[in-house]
A and B are shown apart, each in its own frame.
Chain A
Amino acid sequence: MRRPLGRPNLWPLYYALRDARLGAGRNLVAAVSAVLVAAFAVSLAALVFLGSDATRSAARLLREQAAMRVVLTEPSEATSPAGRAEAVARRIRALPGVASARVVPPEETLAALEEAFGGTVDLGRLFPENPFPPSVAVFLTGPDEAGALAARIARWPEVDEVVYGQKYLPAVLGLADFLRRAGLASVVGFALLGLAVTVVTWQLAVLSRLAEVRVKAWMGVSPWALAGQFAAEGALLGLAGGALAAMGLVLVVHRVELALATLLPWPLAPPRFGPLVVLCLASGTALGAAGASLALALLARREGVFR
């Protein structure tokens, strides 16, 4: 049984991988649920992370926003709406601190909305008479005078509303603050929930392999080696779940980003996919490893495997 020093015995590793493969095949439902549970818990936690991250960067963007959208009232007299909008745009261009002003016709607003819905809705049929008033897209030379300029333009009779980033800043800052605090609590909650469900799932998997566990305990495999084997299996399946979650989230975030980019009058910072993917993979792996080894420990104790 003794082998020469300096030559590590890699067969246990080979057998552990084989047993993991056979074990997953033995209870496929449990293996698949282990992946899905990890994916689900990781997605929930990551969404909270994303939401808090997004509001924080939104707040930063809003503060630096040098663009505004001037929405005009419905014309009451018989003047042409387009001509009236062009007149307002000209007056805005004359103001100090304004870099450019361009009339956005209602059709363009409708088309942008349709694109945001992924082209699935025919808004032209839904609203035969375009309900959107014309508006003027304004770019300033800097963000500092935005509040004062907006207030001045909003007083003009042709102007219904001035939409600009800093107007939403207090609300967004409040949301960011709330998400940071609630997010921490819910991440802990999702982690605990995910761990509980992972443990239950892995108990089913271990239960269907109790003979294997017993034989190993009888023949002198240490409790740590057994726990390590299941931790490694859990880590692999959890990693798969984390990867699944990462792919889903990247897709979702990408779609949301496209939609927001067409809806909002200001440019968005690109979402940080790197940390998101790392977070998903790491938390999925950790969840799987912890859940599987905890499940083994609980079952081994309950079934008296080592005693």
Chain B
Amino acid sequence: MRAELPGPSEAPAVAWLGVSHVFPMSRRGRGRAARPALDGVDLRVAMGEWVFLVGPSGAGKTTLLRLAYGALRPTRGEVRVLGEPVGVRPIHLLRRRLGLVFQSFELLPAKTALENVAYGAEVLGRPPGEARRLAEAMLSTLGLEDLADRFPNELSAGEQQRVGIARALIHRPAVVLADEPTGNLDLASARVVFEVLSRIHRLWSPAVVVATHSRELLAWGGHRVVRVEGGRIASDEGARIR
């Protein structure tokens, strides 16, 4: 047990505390020494803070995020989200408080953009009328109302990802975790997607953690940039809290 638990007001949105992770060896690789994917990472993201996780492919960015949304349990250390240790309560309860954005958009092809966004609210049990109103409001605050009646195959990749983000964040989560959200996009589309994320950040100030290997985006926005290399934190620039 930790001696001084942080009070609710100063609890970080996401905290990796002395986290190491070693993936179990595949059958073929057994016998070789396992290199840890993460090695003693200490990282705190404050409420409302925006953090870029950068670093070369294989650095451990995805592993960090997966630990935060409960897909993995750390080999050593502890991960806390919104003040709560990950893995104590069932993971799906944690995920309802998060917004997860991935490289693949996973829009439902038979639904319009509006219906796709409303689907996010339906999955969380909201009545159809309310889900639709929430979706309309979300699309218009993000400036996507023109896309509302189009089907995914009538949208560009960048537009699909913006609709996907609207769906993933329809419940206004306090923490947004995005793993290579622009990995499938060209730079121009990536910029527009980041504009949508920024608008969300201004709108209700969630903590935002974005893993990306796209260097061009970093200059953009003046956010905190955490560099991960070989499973360790190599640098951390522009943090509000350390």
Chain A: minimal CB distance from B79 (Å): 15
Chain A: minimal CB distance from B105 (Å): 9
14 new A-B contacts, CB < 8 A, other than A215-B123, A223-B92, are A11-B127, A15-B122, A22-B110, A210-B106, A211-B106, A215-B108, A218-B100, A219-B95, A219-B168, A220-B96, A221-B123, A222-B90, A225-B92, A306-B91
Q: Is the CB of B120 within 8 A of A215?
A: yes
B residues engaging A (CB < 8 A)? 66, 71-72, 90-98, 100, 102, 104, 106-110, 119-120, 122-128, 167-168, 171
For the complex of A and B, list the 9 residue pairs with the smallest distance between their C-beta atoms, beginning with the closest. Answer: A220-B96, A220-B95, A307-B71, A222-B92, A211-B106, A218-B100, A220-B92, A219-B123, A214-B106
Most B CB within 10 A of own CB, among A210, A211, A214 = A211
User: How long is the Cα–Cα vector from A14 to B12 in the complex, in angstroms?
Assistant: 38
Chain A: minimal CB distance from B72 (Å): 7
Which residues of B sit under 8 angstroms from A12, Cβ to Cβ?
125
Tell me the nearest residue of chain B to A219, going by C-beta.
Answer: B123
Which residues of B sit under 8 angstroms from A217, Cβ to Cβ?
95
Return the contact of A11 from the options B98, B109, B125 (Cβ within 8 A).
Answer: B125
Return the contact of B125 from the options A9, A22, A210, A223 (Cβ within 8 A).
Answer: A9
Given contacts A212-B108, A215-B119, A307-B71, contact A220 B168 (CB under 8 A): no
22 contacts between A and B (CB under 8 A): A9-B125, A11-B122, A11-B125, A11-B126, A12-B125, A15-B123, A26-B110, A210-B106, A211-B108, A211-B109, A212-B108, A214-B104, A214-B106, A215-B106, A215-B108, A215-B120, A217-B95, A218-B102, A219-B124, A220-B124, A221-B123, A222-B90
Which residues of B sit under 8 angstroms from A225, Cβ to Cβ?
92
Given contacts A1-B124, A11-B128, A307-B72, contact A218 B108 (CB under 8 A): no
Which residues of B sit under 8 angstroms from A223, Cβ to Cβ?
92
User: How long is the Cα–Cα vector from A217 to B97 in the complex, in angstroms?
Assistant: 13
Q: Mark A71-110, 1 if CB is under 8 A from B, else 0.
A: 0000000000000000000000000000000000000000
Chain A: minimal CB distance from B59 (Å): 19
Which residues of A sit under 8 angstroms from B122, Cβ to Cβ?
11, 15
Given contacts A215-B167, A219-B123, A219-B124, contact A307 B106 (CB under 8 A): no
A residues engaging B (CB < 8 A)? 1, 9, 11-12, 14-15, 22, 26, 210-212, 214-223, 225, 306-307
User: How long is the Cα–Cα vector from A221 to B90 in the complex, in angstroms?
Assistant: 11
Which residues of B sit under 8 angstroms from A216, Cβ to Cβ?
123
User: How long is the Cα–Cα vector from A210 to B171 in the complex, in angstroms?
Assistant: 22
User: How long is the Cα–Cα vector from A22 to B71 in the complex, in angstroms?
Assistant: 29
User: How long is the Cα–Cα vector from A217 to B70 in the complex, in angstroms?
Assistant: 12
Main secondary structure of the interface of A (DSSP, over half): helix
User: How long is the Cα–Cα vector from A307 to B100 in the complex, in angstroms?
Assistant: 12
Return the contact of B168 from the options A210, A218, A306 (Cβ within 8 A).
Answer: A218
User: How long is the Cα–Cα vector from A210 to B125 in the complex, in angstroms?
Assistant: 20
Which residues of A sit under 8 angstroms from B127, Cβ to Cβ?
11
User: How long is the Cα–Cα vector from A285 to B89 in the complex, in angstroms?
Assistant: 33
Most B CB within 10 A of own CB, among A26, A212, A219 = A219
Which residues of B sit under 8 angstroms from A26, Cβ to Cβ?
110
Which residues of A sit under 8 angstroms from B125, Cβ to Cβ?
9, 11-12
Which residues of A sit under 8 angstroms from B91, Cβ to Cβ?
306
Given contacts A11-B127, A219-B95, A220-B92, contact A306 B171 (CB under 8 A): no
Which residues of A sit under 8 angstroms from B71, Cβ to Cβ?
306-307
User: How long is the Cα–Cα vector from A219 to B108 in the complex, in angstroms?
Assistant: 14
Tell me the nearest residue of chain B to A305, going by C-beta.
Answer: B71
Chain A: minimal CB distance from B144 (Å): 18
Q: Is the CB of A220 within 8 A of B93?
A: yes
Return the contact of A1 from the options B72, B90, B95, B171 (Cβ within 8 A).
Answer: B171
User: How long is the Cα–Cα vector from A9 to B124 in the complex, in angstroms?
Assistant: 11
Chain A: minimal CB distance from B158 (Å): 18
